[in-house]
Chains A and B, each alone.
Chain A
Amino acid sequence: MFKLHTPGNKNLLSYLIISFLILILIYNNNLAKKTYKILSIDYNDRINNIYGFCRKESVGYLKYIKKKYNIKDNLKIINYHVHAPAAWSINNPQNKTIDNKFILLNYPEIFDIKFSNDNKGSWHRNQNIQYSKGINYIYFNLNKNNIKINGSVEIIKKSLNKEKIIHSFKINQIVINKQKIYESYLSNDLNSRWDPVYLRVKLTDKRNFKYINSISINLKNKFDINKFKIIDKFESCYYVSK
């Protein structure tokens, strides 16, 4: 059907250059190794390797739950780590969503957020906050047993280059390393993916800053696992019902 024109000697140099460039393409993208992996690792295992079984988006766990419990309708998925929604892996927008059952991914047993000093007057969090409904207590991670803290802590949310103090409280006491200082605060304002949330700490004795490694806030969890019936659990991933 096809007449194939084979290469002649006069184009040898061009062919050599093309071959060399294709080899670079193969080398740059690790294509030899990837070919081997595609041949030796099943598609579903590759998906688990990429999205994690019970980490990151936990697509492996979601698929496992759907298959094990033969779930036809859509499940609500709550992931405590900030990732794009993983609903694509099990849900179909044309189906209805089950109201009384849902999946919790990367559920934190201890819901702590750590803030570190940027040495410019602000303390920045180590992760984004989601699904909190307020504060239980705070504690200072010190590099000595105790210090006297006299000052205030402001929790600030920055949006469109504008700062807003969402909560502030005063401390005037001797604080032991990791001592819980209860500060009851109920609000969803701490939750933020896009707008930065940070602390501004003011101390009367600024020398004390050097003794504070970080400040941690223990958050109230919007979804308390103890209030649900656990249908399935794997590490920090839960399938629960109300």
Chain B
Amino acid sequence: MYQNEILLITCEVIFILLMSSVPVNLLSKSKYIVSNNLSLIDRLLINFIILSNILLLSSIFNIQTLFILLGYVILIFYIYIIKGSSIKKKNEINFSHLIIFFIIVLISIDLSYELFFGWDVKWHLYFKAFHFQQNQSFANYVNLPINDYPHFGGLLWSFFWKYPFNNYEYLGRISYVVIYIFSIFSITEILKIDFLKSTILSILLILITYEYDLLSGELDILVFSYLLIATKFINYFFEKKYKKNNNLLFFIILMIANILCWTKNEGLFFIIFLFISLILTNILEKKQIFFLIIGLFIIILFRYVSMEAIGIKHDPVHYDFDRTLNFNFNDFLYRTKLIFFYLLIYLIQNILYLIVLPILGYLIFKENKDKRVKLMTLFLIMHFIFIYFVYFFKALDIEIQIRNSMKGFLFCTLGFYIYALIIYMDKKITLINKN
């Protein structure tokens, strides 16, 4: 039967946006979260983070996604239809926001045409999405290939694949587009400029970073986006308006940590680095540091216990310690040389890294008293040490491993380094405004 796929794509985008519009009502001004003037994109993102966590928990506790959908439908119906008249005065959507919608549809069109999957997607990630799309239980997850790999990416894909149309698989991947676009629009909001100007910067960032490979089902785009969102919310700690003892902000950041923990193993490390950097910048009180560490500990423990409960154990084949540790000094030099060579190559190949790393270098030397710069410096050090060790201890041929994965690996954290560009521009804008 012929179906107008462009119409399906548009409806899917509207559906995802509608699901992201509750429970923090996008139409009302929030008076209880983080900052008094929380933007529309912030509220959509918080909702998306909440939905992501609900999906995660429901998958682990085997709650049917249909119930989640029904819950959301009731909530949406209540907020927009029953309470609609009382919040009518607050219903303000700027015309400019339609630009975001339009860009999401455009990228989704590209996705629906290209369609192909990345290597890991064909190998095991598609099966994870298919598993949940088929209403399979978390206990049956052990039957999947590479079952010790976290499943959030497949879960998100499966939910929007199944609802509302349960049709083409790529409709599920549109959720990746939405989170990617939102994360970029979100980070540019840090700049105190009007929405249209930040939109220009956002589109430029999309033009530089976007390529279809990101949407091929691989999870790098999710790590990139959620890390970018975490950075945006962490930035609130450095703002003058930031209300101390705002536990909700910590809760949002921990929810993002939970998502990253279930998206990719690297994601967990990146969020740990971010937390360590944040703690070492000395802007948090002891109570808050305690809250952050305990929260992260619970998240990691929960993942470990959940996987243990269904009998999943990390496959030692991935580590192959005999081969990994069996090397002499020549190997040490060989591996080190390869890692630095390819690291340089892949950093140069990525235009945005070419822009943001020199800017970060400039900030480290010129603006080292800024705590945001300190945060970035600490993350940078941990990140590059991590890259070195990850590739140094690869069991298979290291060169092939690097060539297959380093590009995506670097892309995951690119989101965080965009923050350097934002800090730099923020300083310049402040300087211009002063003059």
Contact = CB atoms under 8 A, between A and B. Distances in A.
B102 interface: yes
B106 interface: yes
Interface in B199-213: 199-200, 203-204, 206-207, 210, 212
B228 to A, nearest CB: 19
A93 B131 contact: yes
Contacts of B197: 14
Interface string B107-134: 0011011111101111100110011001
A167 interface: no
Interface string A84-113: 111010001110000000000000000000
B93 A3 contact: yes
Given A37-B113, A93-B131, A88 B200 contact: no
Interface stretch (A15-23, A144-152, A199-207, A226-234): A15-23
B327 interface: yes
Interface residues of A, number: 45
A93 B6 contact: no
A21 B204 contact: yes
Nearest to A4: B95
Interface string A1-26: 11111110001001101100110111
B94 interface: yes
B95 A29 contact: no
A160 B323 contact: yes
B4 A93 contact: no
Given A25-B103, A88-B122, A1 B331 contact: no
A18 B203 contact: yes
A31 B109 contact: yes
A5 B110 contact: no
A94 B331 CA distance: 42
B280 interface: no
A38 B103 contact: no
Contacts of A161: 330-331, 334
A159 interface: yes
Interface string B56-96: 00000000000000000000000010001000100111111
Nearest to A195: B397
Interface size class of B (residues with CB under 8 A): 35 or more
A15 B115 contact: no
Interface in B377-427: 396-398, 400
B113 A43 contact: no
B245 to A, nearest CB: 35
Interface stretch (B139-147, B283-291, B309-317): B139-147
A173 interface: no
B95 A50 contact: no
Interface string B5-44: 1100000000000000000000000000000000000000
A26 B106 contact: yes
B122 to A, nearest CB: 4
A194 B400 contact: yes
Nearest to B116: A50
9 contacts: A1-B91, A2-B91, A15-B196, A22-B99, A25-B210, A38-B109, A84-B121, A94-B136, A161-B334
Interface of A: 1-7, 11, 14-15, 17-18, 21-22, 24-26, 28-29, 31, 34-35, 37-39, 42-43, 46-47, 50-51, 57, 83-86, 88, 92-94, 159-161, 194-195
Question: 6 tightest A-B contacts by CB?
Answer: A84-B122, A14-B196, A34-B113, A88-B126, A21-B203, A84-B119
Interface of B: 2, 4-6, 80, 84, 88, 91-96, 99, 102-103, 106, 109-110, 112-117, 119-123, 126-127, 130-131, 134, 136, 140, 143-145, 168, 194, 196-197, 199-200, 203-204, 206-207, 210, 212, 323, 327, 330-331, 334, 396-398, 400
Given A35-B109, A84-B119, A194-B397, 20 more contacts: A1-B80, A2-B93, A6-B95, A14-B197, A15-B196, A18-B199, A22-B99, A25-B103, A25-B206, A25-B207, A38-B112, A38-B113, A39-B5, A83-B122, A85-B123, A93-B131, A160-B323, A160-B327, A160-B398, A161-B334
